[in-house]
Structure 1
């Protein structure tokens, strides 16, 4: 049997098993793939003695990954994340890269190697962080939106770095592009152009060729292929590899061409069809890519790379969080938001391993892949617990960083319009589709006060004259500022259970009698619901429990007409919520 097929089979079998174990212990599947490669590689079992035997297949996974990133990266997203996220992402990457590069130079690395290592440290893991924030329902919070915006900018910069740094992989730009149009022209007429000029000329000419191809050739190919799903799939792959070949011809990374192909197709009406057909293929080859990375871990180099591991861990767990934190403070975000964003980004991302792999030539005399993979495994593992227990970590750090809010100031006063001597009847903490409808229903009829620490969620209410406060519900001063004389109901839809516990406690400190002050909060699980009731909540809303009870009652009716009437009511409610969300 062909040894290559045996190798591929072993990679898939062990990759699947390790991914299942990683998922079982709450870790990213990516780590499972890397550990599977380590297990079957030459360093442990030696089932696949030569990782280079399948490296060309793994490279296909990298090309398809960059194509998918380009396809999903609609350029309009840059507008969606806002100018602040763009500025935060740029500042964080540049500052962290420069500091880390200087440390690398002190340790004896070259400038090009220092740039590579600096970028490895500065880029975080979009795959891991976004999944965990989504699972924990933090993606729509202020810190979640900021993290997502910074990650989008990081991904764009990572692709640019991956494309351009490949031209510096050898550490020399002299004679760059000898096999390209400009290289052949300069050698023919005996014209010796500086390497930097050749690089810029190749970049400009490649951009022109790619633009002409996408405008006059690619669009026609896809129009001809739209009638057949199979043909659309084949044409997509052909376009990806054509642009990858063009990038390689101009001595840029093959992945750069794939990324540009994705960007060119991202705004097309049929981009979702392409994504659905190519993504499973990308997932398959990407498994092989990360398994092959694990196979390249060499324990013989481990001791030699301890200093490198210490450098990357210091940069990732200390320098990057500190830079991110103080950058956010400079933009006047409060301590909690700055702290949560900084710790959520404290890991080496998947692009770190990709960058080091593509820049292997730059580290020919000093291999660093093992150190990068080990630090990626360590930091990604820590991230799973850091994000899960982020509130507890913040509460621990809160006393130490409390003075910084007074030193730097906060943005909250920009979104505060509570009239003097205002006595609300209902206080609503947190804005989501549920409370948005409540606010719309009560506005103008009852005296309400809306509190949320995400300015984008309450600015509309401020413009309409509804009293709002932009602050953290855990600020002790907040409860002293509110006149509780006429407050009959306090509603909190804050997603963090510990914060709801604090809100309930403060509410009961103000008014012990539940008949005078009703406290309504949400809870993610029944266990937290019981804790909230014990803490003094009047009503705890648990989506799973409410849905389960309603389903039981509807099925018990055994009346299709009644179920249809309920469905019609909920359809109308969904439409209302859609309108509220769009306005917010």
Structure 2
């Protein structure tokens, strides 16, 4: 067999085999691929003939990875990040990079190596975090959205870092020239995408295969242009992706490119394993331990503290930082590029891989059991959200025969609307300050904070409440609310949501009066719609009714995003306009 075909075949076989084992053990696939590379590499079974060829193929994987990142970086997605997540992300990268740099210098690393190490520690894994949040159904929670926003900011920063660090000429003139060439490349891509590509896409989009090939050609045109101008091919691919991000066909392109991206990215991580020297300088052991402490303890504390400064509740701040306590696959890519151009030694790459392996391994368990860990240690995080509940609340002095609603996002919003329209006295508890600002604007009793915060619970007068409704997805939190309620009142009704049948039954055992399973309700609702499928008029009415409801929800979300700024600046006229718009 041809040596090249043999090498690729061996890589695919080992990646699939080790990947399946990792899947059964619930470990990140990236680690499996790196281990596979070590097994077949020069320090293992010595099965690879042309290591340079494998490295070059892996480079294509990074280009395609960044092409897809660019495709997903639409203007709408950037808007959704919000100012809070952006500031937290920028602050985290700046502080962790600075700490990592100083610690590295203390251990005797060179200035450029220390800068690389600081950045390596700062970035968290988009692949691992999204996978774990998706598995635990936390992608759409407040802390999930904050984490995704921070990761998006990190992705943008790592692209900038790759661009600047990989420029070997550090003179001011060189950076100015680099900046001009970079701006020219970006403008060329954006202007072409706006004025030229639409003419081609009308025809190209008629064929899925042609659309796929055209998108790849576009990617490689800018990868080649970037390489010609002295940038990495990955930077050119990213710019090409950003240019296509707002096209109506970007979803189809992403769907087509992802499988081939995954193939080449797999080869890239196997190639990293092939190049690893299994022996490690003993002098690096202590620095690695300190770097691990920075990632596992320092990074979560920094993110949590920054989130607290933005008035997020203790639980939200803790979970946002805790879930990002790992090193990113982009950190390995950054280190790999630094080694290739001779800026850093192989030791830095080895450190990056070891940190990534250990922290990714731990993250799978940290995110899985984050709620349990929070309930064990949350009370000692006194420096998270030191603001009193009085700082962001709207509650009368005395409450009686009232309804308490925990969580006012999505399901909770509908409940708040229904109870408010009935004229019942209501108190809303939510840990999202933007939602609370919006409720204050409508003169609805509310308080910002954690459902398990003793100070919050004390102000709710649970002993005098008529009913408590929890839309919080956390099973542990809902059980804690029931226990607290039973200590204050045996008469108040308790309604809750649950993610599974087992959780619902446990809540009933604890004394819940009624538990709702959203998945079951969705099935019942769809069944009701299907019973009328023969009557197009009824379907049209239901469709229009839902569109109106969705538009209303979107308006509420928009108001909640902008309400804080209206209140911060004491904008009375703005607040009046806000109330008129909301009532509409």
Query: Which range, TM-score by smaller chain?
Result: 0.7 to 0.9
Change beyond 3 A, Cα 1:379–1:405: closer
Counterpart of 1:184 in structure 2 is none
**Distance in 2, Cα, partners of 1:240 & 1:575:** 37
SS in 1 for 2:404: strand
Counterpart of 1:80 in structure 2 is 80
SS in 2 for 1:345: coil
Q: Post-superposition shift, 1:55?
A: 1.0
Counterpart of 1:234 in structure 2 is 213
CA offset digits 1:409-430 (Å, max 9, x no partner): 25x5454112232435322111
1:112 corresponds to 2:104: no
Contact 1:296-1:370 within 8 A present in 2 as well: no
* Structure 2: segments with no counterpart, 5+ residues: 558-584
Change beyond 3 A, Cα 1:80–1:305: same
1:518 corresponds to 2:498: no
Contact 1:35-1:291 within 8 A present in 2 as well: yes
**Distance in 1, Cα, partners of 2:509 & 2:346:** 60
Instruction: Find 2:433's aligned residue among 455, 463, 467.
Output: 455
The 5 A counterparts of 1:127-526 are 127-168=127-168, 173=169, 195-212=171-188, 214-216=190-192, 219-221=195-197, 223-228=199-204, 229=207, 230-301=209-280, 303=282, 305-360=284-339, 361-362=341-342, 365-402=345-382, 404=383, 408-409=386-387, 412-445=389-422, 446-484=424-462, 487-512=465-490, 516-526=491-501
Q: Post-superposition shift, 1:560?
A: 7.2
Contact 2:336-2:349 within 8 A present in 1 as well: yes
Change beyond 3 A, Cα 1:218–1:238: farther
SS in 1 for 2:43: coil
Change beyond 3 A, Cα 1:167–1:533: same
Bigger CA drift: 489-498 or 14-23? 14-23
Change beyond 3 A, Cα 1:23–1:576: farther
**Distance in 1, Cα, partners of 2:534 & 2:228:** 67
**Distance in 1, Cα, partners of 2:190 & 2:533:** 54
Q: Post-superposition shift, 1:348?
A: 0.3
CA offset digits 1:65-103 (Å, max 9, x no partner): 111111111144333222222211111111111111111
SS in 2 for 1:358: helix
CA offset digits 1:523-570 (Å, max 9, x no partner): 22222222211211111222345567889x989xx9777999997887
Change beyond 3 A, Cα 1:134–1:529: same
Contact 2:313-2:432 within 8 A present in 1 as well: no
CA offset digits 1:226-253 (Å, max 9, x no partner): 3133333333222222222222222222
**Distance in 2, Cα, partners of 1:492 & 1:145:** 20
Q: Post-superposition shift, 1:370?
A: 2.5
Q: CA RMSD in A?
A: 2.9
Q: Post-superposition shift, 1:357?
A: 0.7
**Distance in 2, Cα, partners of 1:491 & 1:120:** 44
CA offset digits 1:34-54 (Å, max 9, x no partner): 222223223333322553331
The 5 A counterparts of 1:49-64 are 50-64=50-64
SS in 2 for 1:100: helix
Change beyond 3 A, Cα 1:473–1:66: same
**Distance in 1, Cα, partners of 2:346 & 2:534:** 72
**Distance in 2, Cα, partners of 1:13 & 1:400:** 48
Counterpart of 1:532 in structure 2 is 507
**Distance in 2, Cα, partners of 1:4 & 1:443:** 69
CA offset digits 1:203-227 (Å, max 9, x no partner): 2134225423542588425522431
Q: Post-superposition shift, 1:442?
A: 2.3
TM-score (norm 1): 0.86
Counterpart of 1:93 in structure 2 is 93
**Distance in 2, Cα, partners of 1:252 & 1:417:** 54
Change beyond 3 A, Cα 1:376–1:570: farther
1:579 corresponds to 2:551: yes
Bigger CA drift: 559-568 or 126-135? 559-568
**Distance in 2, Cα, partners of 1:366 & 1:273:** 39
Change beyond 3 A, Cα 1:363–1:73: same
**Distance in 2, Cα, partners of 1:100 & 1:364:** 16
Q: Post-superposition shift, 1:346?
A: 0.7
CA offset digits 1:423-464 (Å, max 9, x no partner): 353221112433322222222322222211112334333222
Q: Post-superposition shift, 1:262?
A: 1.3
TM-score (norm 2): 0.86
Contact 2:504-2:517 within 8 A present in 1 as well: yes
CA offset digits 1:349-370 (Å, max 9, x no partner): 1111110111103455453322
Change beyond 3 A, Cα 1:241–1:378: same
SS in 2 for 1:226: helix
Q: Post-superposition shift, 1:571?
A: 5.0
* Structure 1: segments with no counterpart, 5+ residues: 175-194
Change beyond 3 A, Cα 1:85–1:456: same
